[in-house]
Amino acid sequence: MKGFFVTGTDTACGKTEVSLGLIQALQQHGLKVQGMKPVASGCEAGPRGLRNDDAQRLRTQSSCLVPYDWVNPYAFSPPIAPHIAAREAGIEIGLDLIRERADALAAQADCLIVEGVGGWRVPLGPDLAVSDLPQALGLPVILVVGLRLGGINHALLTAESILARGCHLAGWVANQIDPGLARREENLATFSSLISAPAVGFIPWLGEPGGGVVAPATLASHLAIEKIWP
């Protein structure tokens, strides 16, 4: 299986945006790419079951249209920690189903981009966490660093944990989630000097007064995909 597991320093740090940008950038290199979000909470009920907006965006951006539950096999309605949502739903999140769906996606693509849920150490069950997924899938990790006050501590702790658990940290992407962050360049320099992996990109504040979704092509333009893909 070739691809990357995208994790983040926290919830809402920009994992989906970076994942979409990676898919687009790899597609621009002529590759077939599939996106996956194995676990998602905060899903909305529809005629075909629960659907997560982030998972839908990954599915739409992917090179091949596949059944929704291949992309997001574990979907939960309440926007709460996934292990709590799973317990309330009477469901046990298991690696076997996630590996099965990931294998099916990988068979149709040159590269698989798998987005985690929440931060790196978010529990998925009594004996399972997000940090167990990249090892189970055999994927290197890309860390999304949310640029905001306190982000340095979160980024360094997460990077240390990724390496301590025997995972390969392929690179990191800084995403400016606070438009008013002071000393941005100094923060980026700190990450570059203390994280032992290449900087794959910096996504500036792209918010607009009216909101809206940023195009994957715009996100891809801020990523140096050649640093992680030959």
CA–CA distance, 230 with 100 (Å, rounded to integer): 27
Sequence-distant (≥ 6) Cβ neighbours of residue 169 within 8 angstroms:
140, 141, 143, 159, 162, 163, 195, 196, 197
Q: In the numeric block, which tokens belong to residue 102?
A: 């990931």
| Local structure of residue 51 (DSSP, 8 states) | E
Residue pair 222/202 in contact (Cβ under 8 Å)? The answer is yes
Give the residue among 113, 129, 119, 199 at the shortest CA–CA distance from 157. 119
| Relative orientation angle of helices 151-164 and 184-194, to the nearest 10 degrees | 20
The closest alpha carbon to 23, from 40, 42, 6, belongs to: 6
How crowded is residue 47: how many other Cβ atoms within 10 Å of its Cβ?
5
Question: Please, which residues have CB within 8 angstroms of residue 5's CB and are 6 or more apart in sequence?
Answer: 114, 116, 133, 134, 137, 139, 140, 141, 142
Of 2, 15, 37, 227, which is the active-site residue? 37
Residue tagged 């996956």 (tokens):
36
| Residue 37 annotated to the active site | yes
List residues with catalytic annotation: 37
